[in-house]
Amino acid sequence: MGFKWAKSLLKNLDKKKLHITKGASDVSSINQNLRKNLKKFSRKRKKLDYYISGISQGNKTILSEAITIIESQNSKDMALAKAIVKACLPLSGKSIRVGITGVPGVGKSTFIDSFGAHLCNHLGKKIAVLAVDPSSNRSGGSILGDKTRMETLTTIDNAFIRPSPTANNLGGVAKKTRETIILCEAAGFDTILIETVGVGQSETTVHSMVDFFLLLMLAGAGDELQGIKKGIMEMADTMIITKADGENVLNCKKAKMTYQSALHLFPPHPTGWIPPVLLTSSLENEGIQSVWNTVEDFKKQSISTNYFRENRINQNLYWFRESIQEQLFMLFKKNKRVKEELHTLETLLKTEKTTAFEASEQLFNTFLEEIKKQND
Ligand code: GDP
């Protein structure tokens, strides 16, 4: 068992507690904790049937194990991961996918806890909570999807919570999240909540994988339009002013009016939908049912105008193109000659000895030559 394999496994384990002994060439010479985890890790891999029958029966433990394979950085898991997603695809697509965003501290996890519990307990829904957080790092503790942040939901049988996958880039996180959505839907979850914060492009990414996008906002004293990018407001299908309780209620009502008039200035939604501004108090469970009514109204309007289906088709096309680009780039960078030349050309660019166009053309020609060589 090679050192490389152990190293990639380490990415999935707690880096603080575990480290590879310098110079180790075999698993047997790395620390005991890792060895224990390695055994557990390899024991966990089962045959495809085990995952598919577990998922289709709605078994949350097996669903979690399957998601772990999807998220695995180990190349040995790739074939199984693909097979799981492929088998789940025909069972997927039947949920409503809701994106939830807002700045840290706005009350996202408290809202999801209250909203999710309401959906499960009063409306008989099965909900899955996922997170997209490109800054998340399991060893450092993910800021989103942390189970301790949704205390009620964790005790509910019909709810499933999964923290953000760890990946080096947003594209990687997004791909894994989309596959996780498919698995959750195949497991019978009818409402998928996907949480994100304003890190880089994460809102846009989540927006491109959901049917309905909720923006949570705080009522501020006179600065209602500050601190949130216009583009994000434009994506919102509904805006919620959080923490509308106690002395804050008046402020929230004022903020509602300000945002309501701001939203009218944005281009109209293709369905003619006008995004409402709602007030909620997650602590007092106020306004929670009206959020769900809004989701239902939007869904009805989207279905009657065919937008619901068209939007999902466009999202699939978008992810198809993204995925091609990503795979092509991976193939490109994997080539030894291209990799070396890329490095050299970057140095030349930094010293202004070439131009971006010239350098990319040269590199692309090298790539084509390499492909031709392989085919000859
Ligand atoms: P997140 O970072 O957006 O997930 O925000 P949290 O859900 O962790 O909430 C941030 C803080 O706001 C916590 O101290 C919560 O207790 C508080 N909070 C959340 N929702 C409400 C609410 O409805 N009313 C009040 N008064 N406080 C809230």
Nearest by Cα to 113 from 75, 173, 161: 161
Written as six digits, the tokens of 134 are 């490109």
CA distance to 342, 350, 369, per residue, from 354 (Å): 13, 9, 21
User: Does 202 have pLDDT greater than 80?
Assistant: yes
Q: Which residues line ligand 1 (CB under 6 A)?
A: 102, 104-110, 149, 242-243, 245, 281-283
- Of all residues in the chain, what percent carry a pLDDT higher than 90? 57
Give the per-residue pLDDT at 211.
97
Residues 6+ apart with CB under 8 A from 336: none
Report the alpha-carbon distance of residue 201 to residue 134 in Å, rounded.
9
- In the structure, what pLDDT confidence band is assigned to residue 6 with cuts at 50, 70 and 90? very low
Expressed in angstroms and rounded, the spacing between residue 243 Cα and the centre of ligand 1 is: 7
pLDDT of residue 7: 45
- Report pLDDT for 275: 94
Any residues with CB less than 8 A from the CB of 71 and at least 6 apart, and which?
A: 12, 165, 166, 176, 180
> Cα torsion at 261, 263, 265, 271 (round to 10°)?
-130
Q: What is the pLDDT of residue 122?
A: 97
- Element holding 193 (H helix, E strand): strand 191-196
Determine the average pLDDT of the residues in 347-367: 94
Neighbours of 374 (CB within 10 A): 8
Q: How confident is the model at residue 323 (pLDDT cuts 50, 70, 90)?
A: confident
195 touches 216 (CB < 8 A): no
The per-residue pLDDT for 136 is: 62
If one compares 328 and 299, the residue with the highest pLDDT of the two is 299
- Using pLDDT thresholds of 50, 70 and 90, give the confidence band for residue 225: low
Compute the mean pLDDT over every residue in the chain, rounded to the nearest whole number: 83
Number of neighbours of residue 32 by Cβ within 10 angstroms: 8
pLDDT digits (tens, 9 = 90+) for 84-116: 999 999 999 899 999 999 888 889 999 999 999
Q: Are 177 and 202 spatial neighbours (Cβ–Cβ below 8 Å)?
A: no
Q: How far is the CA of 107 from the centre of ligand 1 (A)?
A: 4
Looking at 26-30, 98-102, 229-233, which range is the least confident one?
A: 26-30
Give the span between the Cα atoms of 231 and 207, in whole angstroms. 11
The residue whose CB lies within 8 Å of the most ligand 1 atoms, and thus the one to mutate among 103, 106, 110, is 110
- Region 331-353: mean pLDDT is 91
Residue type, 361: E
The answer to pTM > 0.85 is no
Q: Rounded to whole angstroms, how far apart are CA atoms 144 and 136?
A: 8
Q: What is the mean pLDDT of residues 364-375?
A: 90
Coil, strand, or helix at residue 196?
A: strand
Q: How do residues 263-280 score in pLDDT, each as one tens digit? A: 888 888 889 999 999 999
**Ligand 1 centroid, distance to 142 Cα (angstroms):** 17
Give me the sign of the Cα torsion angle 77, 191, 96, 91.
Answer: positive
Contact 166, 136 (CB under 8 A): yes
Cβ atoms 71, 43 nearer than 8 A: no
Instruction: Provide, rounded to the nearest whole percent, the portion of the chain with pLDDT above 70.
Output: 82
**What is the mean pLDDT of the segment spanning 311-339?**
89
Instruction: Report which protein residue has its CA nearest ligand 1's atom 22.
Output: 243
Report, as an integer, the average pLDDT of 208-219.
94
Q: What is the pLDDT of residue 268?
A: 86
Atom of ligand 1 nearest to the CA of 144: 4
Closest listed residue to residue 117, CA positions, set 237, 248, 297, 291: 291
Residue 316 pLDDT greater than 70, yes or no? yes
Query: What is d(CA 164, CA 144) in angstroms, rounded to the nearest whole number?
Result: 7
- Single-letter amino acid, residue 47: K
